Structure 1
């Protein structure tokens, strides 16, 4: 089930930020040829477990055979034994926070501060958008887009915006510096 939902989310993300020209015609950030893109799946299992996620459920990529050029993606289920949601990190050297902010499918924006960073909390305008919450923030190496999503809207047991923020704060040290 998670692969299908993550695949749907990533397909939407790819459609809205996947091309290399935003709506205003300015070029996106070009990746440094010397820089290596941050891979969220490289986050150590002990950091994932300390954040309250299940490291045994690590899933790389968007699932369902979808490709997401320019994005590294990794996700984990919530706490073992009561995993009603998953947490996903997408990272790109080719995009930035402003690009995510300007995408018409991203709604309910609010500026947030967490762990010494400034970010954008938003929801993707999907049919069941109350079962997903996103935070995006720029780093020196690119943009991180993190998400918490319930496996099924009917299974949602808590505030996904609070959950995504909590896990992102707990993992703040593993992301490239802002």
Structure 2
């Protein structure tokens, strides 16, 4: 499902609109094993012009689904992330990775390209509840379940 199109930017230049991950149906989020109630649609510290974010909470972790104008290549060159591992989301090339300061495995992201830039899913332990699973296999499983909801 793709919501967006073109809007007028500076001096009439077309600007691509980001896909909104909060448009994923509640039933699909629930089928991925996550409570479908949105707990946040923004992220402090990110330039909101470049990102659309939707965050859900499932017992011991948060699931954040993000779309951005940043590219897959920019992700691979980002010095704040490490531990890249190849992955697939359906037939799309993807990569899992961690924040550079995550020494416990409590945080794992998965990123892949789409027409407007990059889609990122992140599973991050709350730090309150006991972590019940490894975060990278979990984020891969969620992405695989939700793949039909992501724009091409």
When the two structures are superposed, what TM-score results if normalisation uses the length of structure 1?
0.71
Of 108, 126, 136, the residue aligned with 2:83 is: 108
Greater percentage in strand: 2
CA distance in 2, matches of 1:140, 1:60: 21
Structure 2 unpaired stretches of 5+: 1-12
Q: Is the 8 A contact 1:130 1:153 kept in 2?
A: no
CA distance in 2, matches of 1:75, 1:68: 14
Task: Note the C-alpha offset of 1:34.
Answer: 5.6
Greater percentage in helix: 1
**Aligned ranges for residues 32-71 of structure 1 at < 5 Å?**
33=14, 35-63=16-44, 67-71=47-51
CA distance in 2, matches of 1:128, 1:151: 15
Across the two proteins, how many residue pairs are aligned to each other? 140
**Aligned ranges for residues 26-175 of structure 1 at < 5 Å?**
33=14, 35-63=16-44, 67-78=47-58, 83-92=59-68, 94-152=69-127, 155-175=130-150
When the two structures are superposed, what TM-score results if normalisation uses the length of structure 2?
0.83
CA RMSD of aligned residues (A): 2.1
Structure 1 unpaired stretches of 5+: 1-31
Over 3 Å counting, the alpha-carbon distance change for 1:155 and 1:97 in structure 2 is: same
What secondary structure does 2:65 align onto?
Answer: strand
